[in-house]
Amino acid sequence: MKYISTRGQSPALSFSDILLGGLAPDGGLYLPEQYPQIDRSTLAEWRQLSYAELAYRIFSLYVDDIPAADLKALVYKTYTAETYHFARDADKASQVTPLTTLEPGLHLLELSNGPTLAFKDMAMQLLGNLFEYVLAKRGQQINILGATSGDTGSAAEYAMRGKTGVRVFMLSPHGKMSSFQRAQMYSLQDDNIFNIAVHGMFDDAQDIVKAVSNDASFKAQYKIGAVNSINWARVMAQIVYYFKGYFAATQNEDEQISFCVPSGNFGNICAGHVARMMGLPIAKLVLATNENNVLDEFFRTGVYRPRHTTETYVTSSPSMDISKASNFERFVFDLVGRDASTVSALWSKVDAGGSFDLNGTAHYDKLVNFGFQSGNSNHADRLATIRTVWAKYGVMIDTHTADGLKVALEKREPGVPMVVLETAQAVKFAETIQEALGLDAPRPLELDGIELLPQRVEVMQPDVAAVKAFIQTNS
């Protein structure tokens, strides 16, 4: 399997060659040159597989430059009940992504049972093992540089901790994350994990990362890399749980189901799109946004209008507070019939700070073939949904999952089971749970008191030179 760029001006590469990089050299995103097709009999055979075995079968279709036995070992090492052990029902931990049925035909797929209690662990844990393997094979090292306001940074750190050949330099806005989030990241004592808290906001941290990455000679000399959401391996890893969720919610391969996905950067639902393109019987992919409704607007109107950062709302589902959706270009590439010149023309507008409108074009007419629907949610909706789910089913959901459930209930069709992806555990957003229910979200026992552990963090001014100097000293 070779990978091609959505902008069509980069050579096709194999999996390991795109694993460590970010954007393609032409500014596009990598996608497999075609989607492997899964027929009904293969689906039937896969129904019985464990999570790790299913993941291995799916990845084997996308990865042809890692020997099968090595790939299998990496995958089996990643998807264990030990790593994903925070299941709502402890007996189901071995399923990795257990299904919670709220009522017949309405389910939650638990994706937040990994070490940082958010779905990003599903892909990031695999990335940690893949990076270590490929770097060792090539005799290389990498310094991962990133900025985080919460979930991504901690998922990256827990995936990369202790990995040979990898160091992580993670910038976060000083004093802006919850004390639980800070404790999750800063209490890591691994030699290869470096937390840098900068005075300022998330955008200040992000600007520093961009400035350092744009310094080509520094980037080359210090082997600066990233693990951001455009990484193809993250999308690939996420395909697996759409299959797993399908099997858990159906009896046979003639059934169709729909998924509802709380969305920000379009990474999670992009994997659902790929699963559907592979032939998984998905009726609808329902995209849910919060107040930051860039993507909902596109699916309703055909207009993609990234917001300026000053137009981005800070909400109680913060991991969906995005101004533009970094994986969306992958879907549009498929929508326009994989015509890279069309994608390049559309994104020349986006990259210049503009928008595009597909309404009235042949592309817009094709949208219905891809099964998408969308809706949005706001703070009051989140509170109401958290309350309803607690009162009606005795299940506590987090704010992002609440956005998903709110939209799922609007879009549900009779006779088609709806699976809402549960992207985080309630305890991560305990203040809003308190506001909605007047209750403390229960915390897994082993995370009790993590705020009291010693913390390892470097506090700095938002200064590019200081961050570079810190990387030089510690690499």
Ligand X SMILES: *Cc1c(COP(=O)(O)O)cnc(C)c1O
Catalytic residue positions, numbered: 120
CB 193 within 8 A of CB 161: yes
- Name the closest residue to ligand X (Cβ): 267
CB of 400 to ligand X, least distance (A): 4
CA distance 156 to 167: 11
| Cα angle: 141, vertex 326, 215; to 5 degrees | 45
CB of 114 to ligand X, least distance (A): 11
Segment interacting with ligand X, rule: CB under 6 A, options 90-98, 176-184, 257-265, 452-460: 257-265
CB of 70 to ligand X, least distance (A): 28
CB of 319 to ligand X, least distance (A): 3
CB of 215 to ligand X, least distance (A): 27
Short-list 134, 165, 142, CA closest to 65? 134
Structural tokens at position 63: 């990865």
Question: 424, 427, 460, 467: which one contacts ligand X (CB under 6 A)?
Answer: 424
Asked if 385 touches ligand X (CB under 6 A), the answer is no
DSSP secondary structure string for all residues of 96-129: SS-EEEEETTEEEEE---STTSBTHHHHHHHHHH
Asked if 382 touches ligand X (CB under 6 A), the answer is no
Sorted by sequence, the CB contacts under 8 Å of residue 76 that are 6+ apart come out as: 52, 56
Asked if 264 touches ligand X (CB under 6 A), the answer is yes
Asked if 35 touches ligand X (CB under 6 A), the answer is no
Structural tokens at position 69: 């036995």
Residues in the chain: 475
Question: 107, 120, 174, 406: which one contacts ligand X (CB under 6 A)?
Answer: 120
Segment interacting with ligand X, rule: CB under 6 A, options 42-50, 137-145, 262-270, 272-280: 262-270
Asked if 151 touches ligand X (CB under 6 A), the answer is yes
Structural tokens at position 209: 């990362």
String of contacts with ligand X for each residue 399-418, x by CB under 6 A: -x------------------
Asked if 181 touches ligand X (CB under 6 A), the answer is no
Give whichever of 238 and 342 is closer to ligand X, judged by the CB atom: 238
Short-list 276, 198, 270, CA closest to 243? 276
CB of 75 to ligand X, least distance (A): 21
Asked if 132 touches ligand X (CB under 6 A), the answer is no
Cα–Cα distance list, 313 to 293, 294, 399, 439, 455 (Å): 10, 11, 15, 26, 30
Short-list 211, 228, 226, CA closest to 468? 211
Question: 265, 376, 385, 432: which one contacts ligand X (CB under 6 A)?
Answer: 265
CB of 428 to ligand X, least distance (A): 7
Structural tokens at position 56: 């291995």
Question: 52, 118, 168, 288: which one contacts ligand X (CB under 6 A)?
Answer: 118
Give whichever of 143 and 229 is closer to ligand X, judged by the CB atom: 229
# binding residues, ligand X (CB under 6 A): 16
Segment interacting with ligand X, rule: CB under 6 A, options 172-180, 256-264, 388-396, 456-464: 256-264
DSSP secondary structure string for all residues of 231-252: -HHHHHHHHHHHHHHHHHH-SS
CB 435 within 8 A of CB 275: no
Give whichever of 436 and 460 is closer to ligand X, judged by the CB atom: 436
Question: 266, 299, 331, 333: which one contacts ligand X (CB under 6 A)?
Answer: 266
Residue type, 439: L
Give whichever of 113 and 423 is closer to ligand X, judged by the CB atom: 423
Asked if 423 touches ligand X (CB under 6 A), the answer is yes
CB of 151 to ligand X, least distance (A): 4
Asked if 146 touches ligand X (CB under 6 A), the answer is no
CA distance 450 to 219: 34
Segment interacting with ligand X, rule: CB under 6 A, options 178-186, 244-252, 261-269, 387-395: 261-269
Short-list 15, 19, 10, 12, CA closest to 142? 19
CA distance 469 to 218: 11
Question: 128, 173, 267, 462: which one contacts ligand X (CB under 6 A)?
Answer: 267
SS3 of 285, please? strand
Asked if 229 touches ligand X (CB under 6 A), the answer is yes
Can you point out the beta strands (E) in 67-219? 99-103, 106-110, 142-147, 166-173, 193-198
Asked if 289 touches ligand X (CB under 6 A), the answer is no
Footprint of ligand X (CB under 6 A): 118, 120, 151, 229, 262-268, 319-320, 400, 423-424
